[in-house]
A and B are shown apart, each in its own frame.
Chain A
């Protein structure tokens, strides 16, 4: 499989929404270890709102609009750090991508490179700061390092890199958000934002597997 049409892109994002919504208890528990425990409910509410907005609009001219509506809905319904950061995850790369009715491997790379740049600019975090960048950056780099045009293969390497990033986040001291006040005590716990990124990549990969 080398590209998604608009309907498939929409279905993939809805599958992402469903997966994050199902993961609310896990994300709450992960965040409660070193944060204030609101990440699960925030992500789940944002994704519920995004899903509703996507299903209501139903008809899209370009794949860009699917990502834009998802990001805008998250940004303006979630609030908190997650709203800005996860809104930027979907919004940040939209402008990099020529408006298109299909999404191919180079489109995925452009979208997610733009997302990474936007998230880092907004949150000022780098890999090692115990944030979602710990999962997002390796995933984007893995996609860029791969020259495959097969979407399943592309998202497989991205998803694996993101999961590895979540594991790595356990080693770090937090520099941002509420976990920063823990210092060394945050070591050993994975970052909730990185966990969400990994869940999102895994859901995209699973969707692609299911339709390939």
Chain B
């Protein structure tokens, strides 16, 4: 595996140096923290949004701080949650006395480190809360929703939370709306080929040349079914059916769609995915409010894609429609 790196010890710190040097007009490093930064142009006197997780999934998380998005990002090592001290320092750097809301994917490591960070915040009288994103409906049954993983659904949760915080809502309201967004999002993925752990010359899993796996996790966690490769139309249909059943989608439901590439799948392919998805949604009478097709949440050169559906109501739409900007994720306001 050819990776454009220097030494494996410095992968994350050099990545952060590169990003923060290039985009210095937007971001500043949290004092004393190599892998945490805040958005310089963030609005003041509002609830602060801090996001984070393991590195290696870019543009998540580093690409989702900015106008109308998160106020700060704290990154861990490759695929590993950030440590409690770095999360705490990041929260302290952006706290405006209105409370800090942590958003992260539901993984054991993230849950434990963010919980410890919240304990550290509590000792300094910083009000905190958290929303764990568990959108991957292939990762555990609905009855064990807290065992589900967070994947590309993170993006829409961050988007809505950022807009709700920017609107100057109270901590309780930002938390409630963010949880509502989280509770109306599901994602299912499909893997065509493995990613790698930078610095280790090994794939994250093995998959036959002619095989795909439905529901496979971003780190190669096994999914729900492994089959032979099929035409896009068939793959998309299977995934859409899972989501439709899970989310009880009915005619007239307004939705926002995210077709996310996992790393090495091309935009050409992702747009074909959307072509097939759109037909299925039209046939079911869904109203697509908005859709996006790009790489948002990846695992290095992993092949495959995920489909995320956000069910919208008038309240969520208001925050979904708000404009946002970061170097990796920018959107004009959507007129209501």
Contacts and interface: CB of A to CB of B under 8 A. Distances in A.
B55 to A, nearest CB: 10
Interface in B283-335: none
Interface string A70-102: 000001111111111100000000000000000
Contacts of A75: 83-85
Contacts of A188: none
Contact of A41 (B107, B112, B116, B200): B200
B221 A79 contact: no
Interface stretch (B63-71, B74-82, B90-98, B175-183): B74-82
A182 interface: yes
B86 A76 contact: yes
Interface centre among B76, B109, B197, B202 (most CB of A within 10 A): B109
Nearest to A40: B200
A79 B139 contact: no
A31 B222 CA distance: 14
A75 B197 CA distance: 22
Does more than half of chain B's interface fall in helix, strand or loop, or is it mixed?
Answer: loop
Given A76-B85, A79-B109, A36 B76 contact: no
A79 B83 contact: yes
A163 to B, nearest CB: 24
Q: How large is the interface on A (under 10, 10 to 19, 20 to 34, 35 or more residues)?
A: 20 to 34
Contacts of A180: 140, 147
A82 B221 contact: no
Nearest to B299: A36
Nearest to A182: B222
Contacts of A84: 84, 109, 112-113, 116
Contacts of A28: 200, 202
Contact of B80 (A32, A76, A83, A182): A83
Contact of B108 (A41, A79, A176, A185): A176
Interface in A160-212: 176-178, 180-182, 185
B162 interface: no
Nearest to A24: B200
Given A75-B84, A81-B108, A181 B221 contact: yes
A80 B197 contact: no
Contacts of A123: 108, 112
B84 A76 contact: yes
A41 to B, nearest CB: 7
B76 A80 contact: yes
A182 B83 CA distance: 26
Contacts of A138: none
A45 interface: yes
B54 interface: yes
Contacts of B139: 181
Given A35-B219, A41-B78, 16 more contacts: A37-B219, A37-B220, A38-B80, A41-B77, A45-B9, A45-B77, A76-B86, A79-B77, A79-B82, A79-B86, A80-B54, A80-B79, A81-B109, A81-B112, A84-B116, A178-B107
Interface of B: 8-9, 54, 76-86, 107-109, 112-113, 116, 139-140, 147, 149, 197, 199-200, 202, 204, 217, 219-222
10 closest A-B pairs (Cβ-Cβ)?
A80-B80, A36-B219, A81-B109, A79-B76, A80-B109, A84-B112, A79-B83, A76-B85, A81-B108, A181-B221
15 contacts: A36-B79, A37-B202, A41-B8, A41-B77, A41-B197, A75-B85, A78-B77, A79-B83, A79-B113, A80-B109, A83-B81, A84-B116, A85-B112, A122-B116, A176-B108
